[in-house]
Amino acid sequence: MRTASHILRLEPYTPGEQPASRRVVKLNTNESPYPPSPKCAAVLSSFNLDDLRRYPDPNFTALTKAIADKNGTTPDRVFVGNGSAEILALASHVFVENDESIGSLDPSYTLYKALAAIHDVKWVGVGRAADDAQRARSALAECRRSNISLFLWTNPNAPTGEFVEPETIAAFAGKFKGVVLVDEAYADFARGNCMSLATAKRNRNVIVMRTFSKSYSLAGLRVGYCIGPKDLIKALYKTKPSYNVDAVAQAVALTALKDGAYHRKTVAKVIKTRAAFEKALAKRGWDVIKSEANFVFTKPPTGDAANDIFSYLRDRNILVRYFPGPITGDWLRITIGTDGQMKTLLAALDDRFKKLKG
Ligand SMILES: Cc1ncc(COP(=O)(O)O)c(C=O)c1O
């Protein structure tokens, strides 16, 4: 018995900290600061305990139908995962041969690199460019050079929050021979999305992925889904664990999806708070990348270091996210919380500034 050598070498993905205390101002993992739809509570309290004796529906029939209806497509083009992280893990096996690579933007969601390492294939990142069209051209050139068969295009991107017009991704996909998985974990907070690329009849290689973890306030439930061409969806089904989404999760996600009014209301609140927070940071001299997600990526004014601020805030029970390294090490990613939480954070920053000056 031995562990495969590439697993021994593996640098695992490090998820954001999940402290046990509820007293922490938690702005580090892009969760929603608002509770899920109150209708979810009713589903949980009336859930028939006896139903837990049985395995859940392996095809998530009711949830898949609701997702298909909402997005104007058919259930055979929908796949549901145990969080979108499971879909990413499956995709990294299903669409990549041993001699092929996985591509993504760089910086982007750091899990992608770890997934490539788990599968023992190369990960290739495409850096920022003068504009999106140029970046798409670079991505295409890199796909050819590095034999990339799966490109994970995060839109809006994480951790930067930048949004790329769907036309740019469509043009890229049109020329790319592999599969483009557009990770739209944050699309509900953006001005647009790529879903029409995924549902189009002529689509051969675009999968659009969403999650219930962010805008639906259900990160603890673990449900994500994707929509794409039938043959690619079928391939994901072939490889999934039989009962990958539990019965409670299927029922709660279905209810949250159907409560569109509540969803729109919470998303609107986050977008409003984001605009005010971006302004507040800019006023204090922080460099802020215009965000279309539920977080901002921001660089402190000269004279202060992102990792020092990270530790300072942590000591005050305020958690934000810091990604070390040459591209991201000068920046912090701050999740949009409630107005009150953002006020607490800004007060702590002002306090620090006063002390540094004095
Ligand atoms: C870009 C992106 N994709 C996917 C995920 C995974 O989300 P989940 O597995 O909770 O659906 C995250 C989580 O932070 C993310 O930031």
Site to substitute for ligand 1 among 80, 102, 155, 211, most atoms within 8 A of C-beta: 211
Task: List the residue whose alpha carbon is closest to atom 15 of ligand 1.
Answer: 185
Q: Which atom of ligand 1 is nearest to the CA of 88?
A: 4
The predicted structure's pLDDT at residue 230: 98
**238 Cα–ligand 1 center, Å:** 22
Site to substitute for ligand 1 among 113, 183, 245, 335, most atoms within 8 A of C-beta: 183
Tens digits of residue pLDDT in 149-168? 999 999 999 999 999 999 99
**84 Cα–ligand 1 center, Å:** 6
The predicted structure's pLDDT at residue 29: 96
Please return the burial class of 246, using the count of CB atoms within 10 Å of its CB with bins 0-12, 13-18 and 19+.
middle
The class that CATH gives domain 38-259 is alpha beta
The predicted structure's pLDDT at residue 182: 98
Which amino acid, one-letter code, is at 76? D
**185 Cα–ligand 1 center, Å:** 6
Q: Are 167 and 206 in contact (CB under 8 A)?
A: no
The predicted structure's pLDDT at residue 80: 98
The predicted structure's pLDDT at residue 23: 87
**68 Cα–ligand 1 center, Å:** 21
Q: Which atom of ligand 1 is nearest to the CA of 30?
A: 14
d(CA 278, CA 252) in angstroms, rounded, equals 33
Q: Nearest CA to 98 among 117, 81, 114, 121?
A: 121
Task: List the residue whose alpha carbon is closest to atom 12 of ligand 1.
Answer: 185
Taking the CA atoms of the chain, what radius of gyration do you get in angstroms? Answer: 21
The class that CATH gives domain 5-35+261-357 is alpha beta
Question: Rounded to 5 degrees, what angle do the CA atoms 188, 306, 122 make?
Answer: 65
**210 Cα–ligand 1 center, Å:** 9
Q: Which residues lie with the beta carbon below 6 Å from any ligand 1 atom?
A: 30, 83-85, 109, 154, 158, 183, 185, 211, 213, 219, 224
* Residues lower than pLDDT 70 in the chain: none
Q: Which atom of ligand 1 is nearest to the CA of 219?
A: 10
**226 Cα–ligand 1 center, Å:** 13
Q: Nearest CA to 127 among 97, 107, 157?
A: 107
Q: Which atom of ligand 1 is nearest to the CA of 224?
A: 11
- For the record, the structure tokens of 236 come out as 């994901």
Q: Which atom of ligand 1 is nearest to the CA of 154?
A: 1
Query: In terms of pTM, does the model score above 0.85?
Result: yes
Q: Which residue ranges make up each domain of the chain?
A: 5-35+261-357, 38-259
The predicted structure's pLDDT at residue 154: 98
Please return the burial class of 112, using the count of CB atoms within 10 Å of its CB with bins 0-12, 13-18 and 19+.
buried
